[in-house]
Every structure is written in C-alpha cells, then in structure tokens.
Amino acid sequence: MANRKRNTKPKGRINRPEVSDSPKPSSSPDTPDLSPLQWTPYARAIATVLILVYLFVVLIGPLANPIASKYFSGPIARQLAPLHRILFLGHGYRFFGPDPGPTHRLVFRGVKKDGSKFEGFFPDRRNQNPRLLYHRWFMLSETLFVEHANQANSNFLKNRQVEYEQQAARLASENRTNQLRQLKLDRQLELRYYQRASERTDFLANSVARVLLDSHQATSIELFSQERSIPFPEEVADGLKLNSEQLLLPPIKIGELDTHGYRAANLADPNTLRGSK
C-alpha cells in the first residue's frame, strides 16, 4: 500500500530522498524494501526497456552457442553479434559440459642452428608459472587441437563434392529450382566454413611455430597435437599415474616451419604435407 502511495507522488525531475548512512537490506525479492524510489516514472520506463533489451542480448548468447536454432536463436544471434563482440558477451557457459573430455598438449620437435635436435611440449607445468600463465598455454594447446580437428581432409571434401553433384543433378532433373538454389547456398557455406577453418589453423599454427622456432634458435620445427586420455578409476587404483605415458595417444602432425616457410600437414595422411605429392 505504502509503495503505491509513493508512486503517485508528483512528478519531478529526480526525487532525492534523505538516505541513511546504514546499508539498506540487500536486493532480495522476498524481503520487501520500502525505501523511496529515486527515479521518476519516465526514467524508470526508459531503464525498463533498456534492461529488457539487454537481458535478451545476454540470453541469446548461450542460447545460440554452441548449438543454435536455425529458425530462432541462430538468426537473432547473428544480428546481435556486434553487441556481443563489443561487450564480450555471447558465450555458451557450458563449463565441463556435456562431459569432461580428454585434454591435449602441443608437442614440438625441431633442429637448432648448431644441428642439435630438441623436443618439448606445452602446457608445461614445470616451466610455465604462475598457474594462470600455465592455463593460458593449456588453452592455446586446446584451441590448436580444436581448430585442427575442425578442418576437413581432402578425401572427405571429395566425397562431399560427389554427394553434392549427385543431389544437384537430381534436383535439376526434377525441376526443383528452389531446393537447388538452397543446396548451392548450403554448399557454398560449407566450403567457406572448411576453408576458413583451414586458414585459421594455418595462421595460428604458423605463429606458434615461429615463436617456438625463435625462442629455441632453431632452423626447423614440427608441431603435433597429442591427446591424453582419461584413465579408468580401476587403473589408477592399481597404481597408474595420471602423467603416465600409457595415457598419451600417438601425436598427430599439425604442420612444420623451416626456411621455406610454414606448411600444414596433409589431413588425410599426416605424414605428408599439404600440397606435397
């Protein structure tokens, strides 16, 4: 009742009430806070609209990332992307979801200027301290793994091209022009996706290789992504250490850098380099 009475006060620019020095009860809907309202109804109306729009922007982020609805959150998230980028919002917040998975480290092997060979990996808890710095290296190795895995190998791309051509020929023969147009658009998007994934991996891997090459005063360096699987509890109970070599899968080559520049590994056959015969 008292609240409604307050709201019917004559409208001024801003009502500045006397405020006691002691803290007001904290924001909780269950403990009605009966302090007077400071803002005019007009100011509150504008703030309400801004708050609602902002909360929608916040909510669309995790609704569209990592999985988006093609008909709702996806298109809206694309429109709101500038706001998400400006304010660094739009994250998925799926911490350790859907399942805690295996981790990945980046292994590098190279040859120094004096001809000696060297090998290393990151993240490396012995040499990367404090822990937050170690975690940055860890996230970088995970990003390299994810970006490398996002690429499509040449065999996959060839198969997809064959599938696309067959589908396009069928739609053309059936005179289904709308579906054919959509198919072409989807195909363009798909090719662009894989091309971008490949470019991103190459840029990132090239930079990482160059920094490692310089820091080790090397002439050539190879990068590999190596997965560490999660042990079964029974294995650990039987004495297996978490840092055991047994848990490491064979490293997968990402690429190499030498005096000729950076060359990515062939995804279909990691023992060869992309573009090599």
Partner 1 sequence: MKTPSESTVAQPTSGATFFHSWTNGWNQFWFQLEAPNALGAMRILVGLLVLYTHFTWGLQFSTFLGVDGLLPLEYRALLFESPFAWSHFDWFQNNQLLMTIHILGLIIVSMFTLGLWTNWTAVLTTLLVISYANRATGTLFGLDQISSFLCMYLAIGNCGGAYSIDQWIAKRRGAGQGRSCTRNRIAIRLIQIHMCVVYFFAATGKLQGTTWFNGEAVWGALASYEYQSVDMSWISNHMWLVAILTLGTLAWELAYPALIWLKLTRPIMLLFAVPIHLGIGICMGMLSFGLVMLAGNLAFVDSRWINKLFQLSDESKVHLKDGS
Name which of residues 102 to 131 contact partner 1 (CB under 8 A).
102-103, 105, 123, 130-131
With CB under 8 A as the contact rule, which of the stretches 99-107, 157-165, 251-259, 264-272 interacts with partner 1?
99-107
Candidates 73, 108, 137, 251: give the one binding partner 1 (CB under 8 A): 137
What type of residue is 39? W
Q: Which stretch binds partner 1 (CB under 8 A): 31-39, 109-117, 158-166, 254-262?
A: 31-39
Q: Which of 46, 47, 162, 172 binds partner 1 (CB under 8 A)?
A: 47
Q: Omega into 130 within 30° of 0, i.e. cis?
A: yes
Tell me which of 76, 111, 140, 168 binds partner 1, using CB under 8 A. 140
Q: Does 9 bind partner 1 (CB under 8 A)?
A: no
239: left (phi over 0), alpha (psi -120 to 50) or beta: left
Judged by CB under 8 A, does residue 75 bind partner 1?
no
Contact 153, 268 (CB under 8 A): yes
Residue from 46, 51, 149, 172 in contact with partner 1 (CB under 8 A): 51
189 binds partner 1 (CB under 8 A): no
SS3 68: coil
Let me know how many helices (H) and strands (E) the chain has, helices first: 7, 5
The edge-to-edge listing of strands for the beta sheet with 117-122 is: 117-122, 103-112, 218-228, 252-258, 261-264
Cβ atoms of 111 and 219 within 8 Å: the answer is: yes
Within residues 231-260, the interface with partner 1 by CB under 8 A covers 231, 233-234, 236-237, 241-243, 247
Q: What's the closest the beta carbon of residue 87 comes to partner 1, in angstroms?
A: 7
Select from 50-58, 151-159, 160-168, 171-179 the region that touches partner 1 (CB under 8 A): 50-58
In degrees and rounded to multiples of 5, residue 126 shows phi and psi of -75, -30
